[in-house]
Amino acid sequence: SALTDYDSDSSSQDDEKHGVQYNYTFFHVIFSMASMYAAMLLTNWNSISSTDHIIIIGRSTTAVWVKVVTSWLCIALYMWTLVGPVVLPDREWA
């Protein structure tokens, strides 16, 4: 494996062999919050005025749903990158 394949003659050692210096939970919480913020920016908080009869490109209900579905697909792809290696451990994920 990659953690055991190192040159024993070199003075450098793998400092993350038994653990990492950062917190995985913190990383994923921050990444999730950033994804939600990006989704909020893409959908404009769903602020569409129903009294306007003029449709502005990018602010129609159809445009909002395209953005929402796209963000759902991005979230699903991200979740697959987390779950996929656990579900299919024999597959090469590099």
User: Which range has highest mean pLDDT (12-21, 32-41, 79-88)?
Assistant: 79-88
**What span, in angstroms and rounded, lies between the C-alpha atoms of 85 and 92?**
9
- Residue in this structure with the two tokens 């449709």, named with its chain if needed: 55
Instruction: Please indicate whether residue 7 or residue 23 has the higher confidence score (pLDDT).
Output: 23
What's the whole-model pTM score?
0.41
Where do runs of H (alpha helix) occur along 16-90? 24-43, 61-87
Q: Say if CB 43 and CB 62 are below 8 A apart.
A: no
**pLDDT category, 1, cuts 50, 70, 90?**
very low
Q: Say if CB 9 and CB 24 are below 8 A apart.
A: no
